[in-house]
Amino acid sequence: MTTPHVRSPLALSLPKLTSISGVRMSGVEANIRYSGRTDLMLVEFAPGTTAAGVFTRNLCPGAPIPWCRQALESTPHARALLVNSGNANVFTGRAGEEAVIACATETAEKLGCPVEDVFLASTGVIGETLPYQKILTALPSAIEALREDGWEDGARAIMTTDTFPKAVRRDVMIGDIPVRIQGIAKGSGMIAPDMATMLAYVATDATLPQNILQALLEEGVKTSFNAITVDSDTSTSDMLMLFATGQAAHAEITSLDDSNLVEFRKAMGELLHELAMLVIRDGEGITKLIRVNVQGAHDDESARKIALSIANSPLVKTAIAGEDANWGRVVMAVGKSGEPADRDRLSIAIGDHWVASKGSVQEHDVEALDNYMRQQEITITADMGLDSGCATIWTCDLTHGYIDINGSYRS
Amino acid sequence: MTTPHVRSPLALSLPKLTSISGVRMSGVEANIRYSGRTDLMLVEFAPGTTAAGVFTRNLCPGAPIPWCRQALESTPHARALLVNSGNANVFTGRAGEEAVIACATETAEKLGCPVEDVFLASTGVIGETLPYQKILTALPSAIEALREDGWEDGARAIMTTDTFPKAVRRDVMIGDIPVRIQGIAKGSGMIAPDMATMLAYVATDATLPQNILQALLEEGVKTSFNAITVDSDTSTSDMLMLFATGQAAHAEITSLDDSNLVEFRKAMGELLHELAMLVIRDGEGITKLIRVNVQGAHDDESARKIALSIANSPLVKTAIAGEDANWGRVVMAVGKSGEPADRDRLSIAIGDHWVASKGSVQEHDVEALDNYMRQQEITITADMGLDSGCATIWTCDLTHGYIDINGSYRS
């Protein structure tokens, strides 16, 4: 295995992490596939913690995905989250389901909670039977290591081809009570080289019923994890979960539109967006972060499809990698999306430079544009000139690094 | 411009070309963007030649595309085809339309035919005004150079990043009369680095009304040019045209199902398929030809979408490049297609090696599979186990060569 794990040039350092009252976390070595590093994260939540989640739409999901979906349907509560790296437990048939049941049962017994309050995830190689005995063996030490300040340990234990650990925090008020939100994520591509999966977990000490938590999550995911793409490939194990421990004694929240929730809601949206940006910043082989804005489209959904067509175009992504303001490829990507478009109304900007306007090339400062292309963050804007639909998608460029990571691997 | 043009390792030599009665062809230097090579192809067809065509579905097409569509609607006949390389005449506004009209008008005058009998295409850089005066200047020499055996000259003049010229021929019978079919194509990716476009032109001396010709084309394109993908990007100028000069004195054909047409119809299908395969064999950066079979799907259309999801997956394509039988990525690509799938019925083969069966890994000969992965042509089969839908898509692997060609370019 020659996969290089050079730290992403767009990596960000971990922020100063805090603790969230009602959350204890650990990361230990279970030797599932890796050795000499932690590969098992355990999180324990205080009784009464509510949970919400969104999961991959891939129709061949890993065994933990249906488990989590069912658990969320049967109870609003969460008491534990157990995540291993190194093996995705995907396409493992009955053995995969047995592993899930065994891990959840053992965790529930050891922590003294109902089995449906235990959430699970696995990330790593696809198609190999998960050696779950190793997880059961490591479980006691994971429980022993649980600490309120164990967040960094957790963030590191779930990494696969990630080149840096990812976390974001926010401190906000609900009414006059201070509340904290903190989240961790892993992912280095929608799916990494055999080492599948984007995972993100966010916890808060706020006191929120499950329906509000789920609504906050579904609102926030639109402009964060559902607005990023590395390579258009959708993992079999993607999952984003949100936990509220109910330790903060603020006034009861019964509606998403509660005026006391305004600041929290905004902060949650920002935190999810920043977590998603950390995943893109660790996109396989990334040298540039690309923001694709589509405006003036028929409607928002049409704008989103056009933005994804641009963001997933190998030709656009290789052009950006080559620091070439190749707007002809953007035109191509707009046209191939199949969405309403009129060449003679279409305008395209790279950064602030409008290179094409209403169907033909526009005079622009070539030297300034060349300088702009050398930056690490590039914005492409397509104005369809039709109506008011708009959308933004973030992606990274397509480089030799991506080929190295994904083509030089041996399963 | 550092674009490498190393000859594709999967290139095939030109077959021994023939002439088609009623077709004269030439390739000359117009110095549109290149120098020291031919970049203008002219084809003259005998009076009475019928034409059929299929064109890109990209909604931002180049200026020649609507011209050809309108010409085909207004007349069943073709007398000339003029194609330049070096400039795609795409996203060039009014100037682009003027160039088309000027070129068609001049060609019609010089050859003494109606202007709507002149077909045009341009392939090359997007967004630059086509210097069509250079085409008009070169037109007399192109006319003078017209020859019945000018096919190779034509095939070379339309090349852009192609690393070899592409042609296929067939000799068949319609009834007891011998008939010839010969076609040329260019393309090195659905769209090449700024040098856009897949073009293919096929001529026969058969005597066929336009509706039969169009039906033959639409039938043949399904399993040829619409069954290949290099990088999922759809050019703004793709076009496939078929011309029948009516020089062969066979019995009249009034139906696609005419028993006299059986051999011709089969040969046409094969020729189109072989032409399309030549384009894939010149796919940018190709080291391996990949055939994706999907069977047992809900229906044929569902099978086609699943096959395209696999064939366009960067992770599948990089795995094949790395000679890794990474079937987990095939599972991922099946699942992300959104088409009906049941993990526990899904089986996957690489070559003849069934590596996964009904939802879990299957024992297989790892050494034999490793040897298979070193071949130049790789077949992936996904059996959905649901119903009888099937489809085949051809593609190439994704390599450093693709990044070199598309990322190291300067527009």
A374, B91 contact by CB (below 8 A): no
For residue A197, the model assigns a pLDDT of 65
Please report residues of A whose CB lies closer than 8 A to that of B235: 332
Please report residues of B whose CB lies closer than 8 A to that of A329: 126, 191, 194, 233
| Dist. CA B233–CA B210, nearest whole Å | 30
- Is A406 in Cβ contact with B318 (below 8 Å)? yes
Q: How many C-beta neighbours within 10 Å does residue B112 have? A: 8
| pLDDT tens-digit map of B261-286 | 999 999 999 999 999 889 888 888 88
B316, B330 contact by CB (below 8 A): yes
The CATH topology of domain A23-281 is: L-amino peptidase D-ALA esterase/amidase (3.60.70)
What token pair was written down for B38?
A: 């031919």
Please report residues of B whose CB lies closer than 8 A to that of A328: 88, 90-91, 125-127, 194, 196, 411
| Dist. CA B282–CA B279, nearest whole Å | 5
Among A90, A332, A411, the residue with its CB nearest the CB of B191 is A332
In percent, the amount of chain B with pLDDT more than 90 equals 71
Out of A76-85, B157-166, B182-191, B300-309, which region has the weakest mean confidence (pLDDT)? B182-191
Confidence band, pLDDT 50/70/90 cuts, at residue B69:
very high
Residues 17-56 of chain A with CB under 8 A from chain B are: none
For residue A409, the model assigns a pLDDT of 54
A160, A197, A287, A399: which one is catalytic?
A197
What token pair was written down for B11?
A: 């290139």
- Residue A95 touches chain B, beta carbons under 8 Å: yes
What token pair was written down for B357?
A: 């069966």
Please report residues of B whose CB lies closer than 8 A to that of A332: 58, 60, 126, 191, 196, 233-236
Q: In terms of DSSP bridges, do strands B377-383 and B360-361 run parallel, antiparallel, or are they unpaired?
A: unpaired
- Is B408 in Cβ contact with A322 (below 8 Å)? yes
- Residue A94 touches chain B, beta carbons under 8 Å: yes
CA distance B179 to chain A (A): 38
CA distance A294 to chain B (A): 16
Residue contacts between A and B (CB atoms, under 8 Å): 235
For residue B232, the model assigns a pLDDT of 65
- Is A336 in Cβ contact with B234 (below 8 Å)? yes
Out of B22-26, B126-130, B191-195, B334-338, which region has the weakest mean confidence (pLDDT)? B191-195
Mutation site, A306, A313, A318, interface B, largest B CB count within 10 A: A318
Query: From the first residue on, what is the mean pLDDT of each consecutive set of 10 residues in chain A (411 residues)?
Result: 66 93 97 93 96 86 92 95 93 92 98 97 89 98 98 95 91 95 82 57 94 93 82 75 94 95 95 90 89 96 94 91 92 89 93 93 94 97 96 91 74 51
Residues 270-309 of chain B with CB under 8 A from chain A are: none
Supply the DSSP symbol for B16: -
CA distance A48 to chain B (A): 35
Active site residues of B: 197
A132, A147 contact by CB (below 8 A): no
| pLDDT tens-digit map of B373-411 | 999 999 999 999 999 999 999 999 998 888 887 776 555
- Closest-approach residue (CA) in chain B for A236: B332
For residue B74, the model assigns a pLDDT of 94
Write out the DSSP string of B386-411: SSSEEEEEEEE---HHHHHHHHS---
Query: B211 vs B53, B77, B120, B217, CA distance in Å?
Result: 11, 12, 21, 10
- Residue B359 predicted with pLDDT over 70: yes
What token pair was written down for B283?
A: 């796919």
Q: How many C-beta neighbours within 10 Å does residue B399 have? A: 23
Could you give the residue range(s) of every CATH 3.60.70.12 domain in chain A?
23-281
What token pair was written down for A287?
A: 């040298």
For residue B410, the model assigns a pLDDT of 52
Q: How many C-beta neighbours within 10 Å does residue A42 have? A: 30
- Is B194 in Cβ contact with A336 (below 8 Å)? no
For residue A283, the model assigns a pLDDT of 85
B237, A335 contact by CB (below 8 A): no
Q: Which residues of B234-277 form beta strands (DSSP E)?
A: 239-244
For residue B197, the model assigns a pLDDT of 65
- Is A126 in Cβ contact with B332 (below 8 Å)? yes
Mutation site, A60, A194, A395, A411, interface B, largest B CB count within 10 A: A60
Please report residues of A whose CB lies closer than 8 A to that of B409: 319, 322, 324, 326
For residue B3, the model assigns a pLDDT of 45
- Is B327 in Cβ contact with A59 (below 8 Å)? no
Averaged pLDDT score across all residues of chain B: 90
Please report residues of A whose CB lies closer than 8 A to that of B400: 400, 403, 407
Mutation site, A332, A369, A400, A411, interface B, largest B CB count within 10 A: A332
- Residue B205 touches chain A, beta carbons under 8 Å: no
Mutation site, B234, B294, B336, B353, interface A, largest A CB count within 10 A: B336
- Residue B66 touches chain A, beta carbons under 8 Å: no
ipTM of the complex: 0.76
A89, A99 contact by CB (below 8 A): yes
Supply the DSSP symbol for B103: H
- Is B328 in Cβ contact with A194 (below 8 Å)? yes
| Dist. CA A289–CA B2, nearest whole Å | 24
- Residue A338 touches chain B, beta carbons under 8 Å: yes
- Residue B192 predicted with pLDDT over 60: no
| Dist. CA B393–CA A358, nearest whole Å | 36
Residues 160-179 of chain B with CB under 8 A from chain A are: none
For residue B61, the model assigns a pLDDT of 84
CA distance B372 to chain A (A): 15
Please report residues of B whose CB lies closer than 8 A to that of A402: 314, 318, 403
- Is B231 in Cβ contact with A315 (below 8 Å)? yes
The CATH topology of domain B289-407 is: Ubiquitin-like (UB roll) (3.10.20)
**Range of A327-336, B51-60, B225-234, B368-377 with top mean pLDDT:** B368-377
- Is A332 in Cβ contact with B235 (below 8 Å)? yes
For residue B5, the model assigns a pLDDT of 67
Could you give the residue range(s) of every CATH 3.10.20.340 domain in chain A?
289-407
- Closest-approach residue (CA) in chain B for A230: B314
For residue B401, the model assigns a pLDDT of 85
For residue B100, the model assigns a pLDDT of 97
